[in-house]
Amino acid sequence: MIRIFAVALLFSASGACAASQCFSDVQVVNVSLGYIDDDEVTVDSGNAVRFEFLTSDGRRYFTTLDWGLNLNDPVGRVMTQALQLAMTSGLRVTGYDHVGGTCDDVQEIQLTN
């Protein structure tokens, strides 16, 4: 099994918390980049990364990369490329929230085939 890891850990002012798994083994169906005009997304001066995915039961959700991992951040660009790879190749994605654990965004993605 091929595994590709794109990992970025961020630490809050109060310290890091244990990772929360936000989604597992999903199919990425859309990656939106730039100035995303949406109440749920921080636009980050036109550098935001939002992606949409399908769960195994066909439900559609979206989330974003953490604001510190967007297009203007080196690790964010790598994670964006990994999401695009997953979308075009059919690799499955699992995502984790390391900051706050609420899954309002993710700081780690794992791609598997």
C-alpha closest to that of 82 among 2, 3, 6: 6
Tens of pLDDT, residue by residue over 5-24, are: 444 333 333 345 579 999 99
pLDDT of residue 6: 43
Q: Return the pLDDT at 14.
A: 34
Q: What is the CATH number of the domain that holds 69?
A: 2.40.50
**Domains contained in the chain, number:** 1
The pLDDT tens digits for 37-96 are: 776 666 678 899 999 999 999 999 999 999 899 999 999 999 999 999 999 999 999 999
Domain that holds residue 57: 3-112
- Report the predicted TM-score, pTM, of the whole model to 2 decimal places: 0.81
95-to-14, 37, 45, 98 alpha-carbon distances in Å:
22, 23, 24, 10
